[in-house]
Amino acid sequence: MNVETSQTEQTYLIKLSGRLVFSDHGEFRHLLNQITAARVKACVIDLAELQSIDSSGLGMFMVALETGKEHGWSLTLRSPRGHVKALIELGKFDRLLTVED
Amino acid sequence: MSVGRQEFEGEIGRRFGDNLGFELKNARILIVDDTLTVRAVIAGYLRNYGYINLREACDGAEGIDIALDWNPDLVITDLMMPGMDGFELCYRLHSSPKTENVPILVQTALNKSEERSAVFSAGAADLISKPIDPQELLGRVRTHLEKRRLIARLSDFQRRMENELALARTMQESILPEEEVVARISARYRISMASHYEASIGLGGDLWGLTPIDDDRLLLYSADFSGHGVGSALNTFRLHSFIVGGALQANSPAEWLSRLNTFFYKLLPVGQFATVFCAFIDFARGTFDYASAGAPPPILNAPETAGAFRPLCSAGYPIGLLGEAHYENATCAFPPGSTLFLYSDALIETPEPPDAVFTTQSLCDFLQSLPPDASPLLCKEQVLKHLRKTGMEKPEDDLTIVVLKSEKGLA
């Protein structure tokens, strides 16, 4: 996966591109620590440029949701496209997580 | 020098000598030098440091004989010797399979860089400058022995892991339906079947199975645990035990999934889950009920779809994510002649989207392009053949395909 991050006072914005898969697990965990360390109230993960995702990648969003609950920040997934959007809908992840168009 | 040596033997030698573990202490070290005193000095340092397994040779020829017979862990050799010199010794040791990996330390007074590089070209692992400095000698000896020991341990570990994985793979294959079980069930319910299972990295997170419910009804399921490798594979064993242990009693596919979810919700850590498809096929009524926990859309060809392969709606909460997940039953006509095609996501994600060979829709079109009376085996073979055309020898995820056809005219 490729990651671009930016931060405003309240929100941590992460733009993911490429693919989010099994082997990205370590890096994604590290990202979650960064969000928590930034002491923001909200995290938005922009998926518009994310080409593909596997089941481990979807699992990472669930881990992010739990981590946010624990440390007081909310999680929003934004603009999933194509295959990523299809998989989010297939597993009804859009009902477990906040997903914006 | 003798003062320095005594000092060394007296203090540093004892201090470090205690640090040599059993393996290092017993390492076999061969010292090759034509000068008796030099051999004695080197051996003295080594012995004082704690090495107990030393042998000496007075020239290259004797060195080779001892090395081939004794299989040393390390060779320390002089360069200039009558008869066979140190260069020749290096070449010889490296050209014999028995000693090709033994590290060779060459004592040298050569200071020119081209001369020193000639020693490395000959296959030496390291140089020890003359006159011998005890700390340098002991440091280099220890470094190379430890490196050799680490490599041996790693190779050992790798061999053991490979054996373990091979055994685990056999076990995993044994929880998939056996050929004779499939044949018996096929005869009993008048169906024909074909299946394919391929783990991405030795062990996989996919499982499928068949369980007769009664004379008319058969339960078919396929599951895919998130991730792959050992962790996912262990989950397939949990699933298999839960099902064959008889703990999973349910009156409908939705109830079956719901019970499975309750079981796995307690076991799986956050972020791990399984997508599962479950169908209760009723051959007497010519229908099946199904429920799905986010499995890739199964493909159905039944007379009600006018002979067209169409994806079923399969959205649903994956197993293990929610404590109280609710699943829906749906019913499809499945009279004789109908075909149900199940697959894991690797089939529509190889190579990764958007470049995948198949999408669910193009898979439907592909199946449609096969002869109308294509057997499950032919469907499976053609799909795999098409998938391999991309040059993907092995999908990055575990791949499962199950094709089940209700046969005509046998009832």
pLDDT tens per residue across span A41-83: 999 999 999 999 999 999 999 999 999 999 999 999 999 999 9
- Three-class SS of chain B: CHHHHHHHHHCHHHHHHCCCCHHHHCCCEEEECCCHHHHHHHHHHHHHHCCCCEEEECCHHHHHHHHHHHCCCEEEEECCCCCCCHHHHHHHHHHCCCCCCCCEEEEECCCCHHHHHHHHHCCCCEEEECCCCHHHHHHHHHHHHHHHHHHHHHHHHHHHHHHHHHHHHHHHHHCCCCHHHHHHHHHHHCEEEEEEEECCECECCEEEEEEECCCCEEEEEEEEECCCCHHHHHHHHHHHHHHHCCCCCCCCHHHHHHHHHHHHHHHCCCCCCEEEEEEEEECCCCEEEEEEEECCCCEEECHHHCCCEEECCCCCCCECCCCCCCCCCEEEECCCCCEEEEECHHHHCCCCCCCCCCCHHHHHHHHHHCCCCCCHHHHHHHHHHHHHCCCCCCCCCCEEEEEEEECCCCC
Write down the domain spans for chain B.
Answer: 3-156, 175-406
Distance between CA A57 and CA A41 in Å, rounded?
Answer: 23
Mean pLDDT, residues B281-309 taken together: 93
CB–CB of B320/B379 below 8 Å?
no
pLDDT score, position B378: 97
Confidence of residue B395 (pLDDT cuts 50, 70, 90): confident
Mean pLDDT, residues B237-264 taken together: 94
Q: Is the pLDDT of residue B6 over 70?
A: no
Q: Is the pLDDT of residue B411 over 50?
A: no
- How many angstroms separate the CA of residue B402 from the nearest CA in chain A? 20
pLDDT score, position B113: 84
Q: Does A22 touch chain B (CB under 8 A)?
A: yes
Q: Is B25 left (phi over 0), alpha (psi -120 to 50) or beta?
A: alpha
CATH architecture of residue range(s) B175-406: 4-Layer Sandwich (3.60)
Tokens (6 digits) for B75: 């060779």
Q: Which residues in B lie closer than 8 A to residue A96 (C-beta atoms)? A: 317, 321-322
| Inter-chain touch B227–A62, beta carbons under 8 Å | no
Q: Does B345 touch chain A (CB under 8 A)?
A: yes
Q: What is the residue whose two structure tokens read 């053949």? A: B385
Distance between CA B303 and CA B297 in Å, rounded?
Answer: 19
3-state SS assignment for residue A63: helix
pLDDT tens per residue across span B345-377: 999 988 888 889 999 999 999 999 999 889 999
Q: Is the pLDDT of residue B13 over 60?
A: no
A26-46 b/e (C-beta count within 10 Å ≥ 16 → b): eebeebbeebbeeebebbbbb
Fold topology of B3-156: Rossmann fold (3.40.50)
pLDDT tens per residue across span B112-146: 888 888 889 988 999 998 889 999 999 999 999 99
Q: Does B206 touch chain A (CB under 8 A)?
A: no
Amino acid at B257: L
Computed over every residue of chain B, the mean pLDDT equals 91
| Inter-chain touch A83–B353, beta carbons under 8 Å | yes
3-state SS assignment for residue A92: coil
- ipTM above 0.85 for this complex: yes
Chain-centre distance for alpha carbon B100: 29
pLDDT-above-90 percentage for chain B: 78
pLDDT score, position B396: 81
Q: Does A23 touch chain B (CB under 8 A)?
A: no
pLDDT score, position B201: 77
Q: First CA to last CA across chain A, in angstroms?
A: 21
| Inter-chain touch B271–A55, beta carbons under 8 Å | no
**Which residue ranges form the domains of chain A, and what is each CATH number?**
2-100 (3.30.750.24)
Distance between CA B131 and CA B144 in Å, rounded?
Answer: 20
**A-interface mutation test, from B261, B268, B343, B352, most A Cβ less than 10 A away:** B352
Q: Is the pLDDT of residue B262 over 90?
A: yes
pLDDT score, position B352: 84
pLDDT score, position B202: 79
Residues 74-93 of A with CB under 8 A from B: 82-83, 89-92
CB–CB of B253/B279 below 8 Å?
yes
pLDDT score, position B200: 81
Q: Which has the minimum average pLDDT: B33-37, B61-65, B209-213, B245-249? A: B245-249
β-sheet bridge partners, residue B57: B32
pLDDT score, position B229: 84
Query: Reading across the β-sheet that carries B126-129, which strands appear in turn?
Result: B54-57, B29-32, B74-78, B104-108, B126-129
pLDDT score, position A87: 96
pTM: 0.81
Residue whose C-alpha is closest to residue B107's, from B197, B180, B169, B42: B42
- CB half-sphere exposure, B240, CA atoms < 13 A: 18
Confidence of residue B227 (pLDDT cuts 50, 70, 90): confident
